[in-house]
Amino acid sequence: MTAHTLFRLDGRTAAIVGSGSGIGEAVAAGAAELGAHVACLDIDPTAATRTATRIRLAGGSSESGSLDIRTAGDVSIAFERLASSRGRLDIVVCTPGVNVRKPLLSYTDDDFDRVVSLNLKGSFNVLRAAGRIMTGQRGGSIIVFSSIRSQVVEPGQSVYAATKAGIVQMVRTAAAEFGAAGVRVNAVAPGVVETPLTAPITANADWYNAYAAKSVFGRWAAAAEMVGPTLFLASDAASYVTGSVLFADGGWTAADGRFNPPGM
């Protein structure tokens, strides 16, 4: 391993869950550019196929499939088939998430179940299925998406924030349990990223601009800006990094307020 190859993923098999759009799509394309064979998995098989086709047209190696991470058996089957056909499963990235923005007192049982079943249970299903394969093969990297909402909240974010905080603790526990087998487990915590999930916000100029102002850069992130942090954690450049949360939030959680005191 040299500095020139630290970030390369040549010969590795990566399952990118949620690769039909947004961050997952960008990460899938980036992993392929770095040499990985990428399995594009998404609840929307047409979207997954579109991403896989784009990768192949660019000269990369890919396949696609339908996957709903809320169903544990389907996650296990998808990962086991991929590991069997490719010889091993080196990288798993899990990006899907959903948010129901409502005051806590207005939340229904169905709202709660919808957010928890995808964000928390789905991430658990991915961690468990990938962990079984990777601990058996004695190596691999799992990256699950958390959020700044694991640390800071606002009205309407109660259950979403709870799931994103829960993901952090599951990632830390998985890192502790899988580490002896050489498996690394980490989380990426984005700030505000322009994706289909945030479309209701980007459509509202006041809301959009208020969130942009929370970043020290004064802007939102593009989905492509999550590729570097994610694939760093997937690569040998992060060979001694596990149980961590990489905040890619434009300084949102670092800066307290936006007033510059006199003389600053």
* pLDDT value for 261: 65
What string of DSSP letters covers 136-174?
HHT-EEEEEE--GGGT---TT-HHHHHHHHHHHHHHHHH
The pLDDT, as a whole number, for residue 259 is 63
Instruction: Please report the pLDDT score of residue 262 as a whole number.
Output: 72
Rounded Cα–Cα distance for residues 134 and 92 (Å):
10
- pLDDT for 7: 97
Residues of the chain with pLDDT below 50 are: none
Q: Helices (H), strands (E): how many in the chain?
A: 9, 9
What pLDDT is stored for residue 131 in this prediction? 98
- Write down the pLDDT at residue 199: 84
Q: Could you report the per-residue pLDDT of 15-56, keeping only the tens digit for each?
A: 999 999 999 999 999 999 999 999 999 999 999 999 999 999
Active site residue 160: yes
Selecting among 160, 208, 211, 240, the annotated active-site residue is 160
* Residue 178 confidence (pLDDT): 98
Which CATH number does 13-248 carry? Answer: 3.40.50.720
